[in-house]
Amino acid sequence: MASIDKDSLTNTFLVAIVVCLVCSVAVSGIAVALKPQQLLNKELDQKQNILRAAGMLDEGAVVTPDGRSVEELFSEFSVHVVDLDTGQFIADRDPSLFDPIKSAKDPAQSTKLSNDEDIATLRRRENASIVYIKRVEGKLDKLVIPVRGYGLWGTLFGYLALDSDLQTISGLGFYQHKETPGLGGEVDNPKWKRLWPGVTLFDASGSADVRLVKRRSSSGSAAAAREVDALSGATFTTRGVQNLVNFWTGELGFGPLIHRLKAGNG
């Protein structure tokens, strides 16, 4: 019987191809099997970010000190799709099936921004987005809006929460960005994030005018109430954060919704 040459070129390639095929089938199978869990984790992460912005969950915590879970806390929110131009809720649109960021890329579902309008460097703004509203005894207690805008290296994605007066910031947090750790990446520093609650959003004329400053105005002044310390050594990221907050709370963002809710409608 002719002996098989295990070390022949053909056999070496055959073994390599079989190993590759087995591995790729295994990896693809695992990826498909884990997809539902990945989606659940993504959803849980999103809920945690919303709750942290709203000041309802501490940084890094997954339950409150009194044992309330993310799901329990998040169930206090109602989720709405909102027409950004009118500020009206779109009742027949299911928020769980709607991705505002995806729709911003679709010319049929978004609006091109002019250079003057586009302070957050978005190019296009979606026509509809999603908001999270917490009510206590029927009265609005928190409004959380998704925000995004360009920093130095890419777009920062996050949530901004407003208190019941829709004038005072509850918190701001980013769940995705490309800024440099230690510089622009300090947007994630809990110490810096603690500077946001209590900051006033609108100036006397009602325009969104938060300022990230190197030197604060004299304490007690109206200007100081709208100021947050800039990130040192990260002027571009700082400017990006200032612009994205003012864009999304302004007239081209959630401004029409904020005015409508302030007037007690919805």
Distance (Å, rounded) from C-alpha 156 to C-alpha 173? 10
Q: Are 145 and 158 in contact (CB under 8 A)?
A: no
> Smallest gap, in angstroms, from Cβ of residue 239 to ligand FMN?
8
Q: Which of 145, 152, 245, 261 binds ligand FMN (CB under 6 A)?
A: 152
At residue 81, φ and ψ (nearest 5 deg) are -90, 135
Does residue 266 belong to the site contacting ligand FMN (CB under 6 A)? no
Instruction: Please tell me the count of residues contacting ligand FMN according to CB under 6 A.
Output: 11
Cβ proximity to ligand FMN: between 117 and 188 the closer is: 188
Q: Which of 90, 113, 183, 225 binds ligand FMN (CB under 6 A)?
A: 183
Q: Which of 234, 241, 245, 261 binds ligand FMN (CB under 6 A)?
A: 234
Distance (Å, rounded) from C-alpha 200 to C-alpha 162? 10
Cβ proximity to ligand FMN: between 168 and 235 the closer is: 235
**Residues 6+ positions from 135 with CB-CB distance below 8 Å:** 78, 141
> Smallest gap, in angstroms, from Cβ of residue 213 to ligand FMN?
12
Element (H, E) at 136: strand 128-136
Strands 211-213 and 227-229: parallel
> Smallest gap, in angstroms, from Cβ of residue 233 to ligand FMN?
5
At residue 241, φ and ψ (nearest 5 deg) are -65, -45
Q: Which of 121, 235, 251, 262 binds ligand FMN (CB under 6 A)?
A: 235
The residues binding ligand FMN (CB under 6 A) are: 152, 179-180, 183-184, 232-237
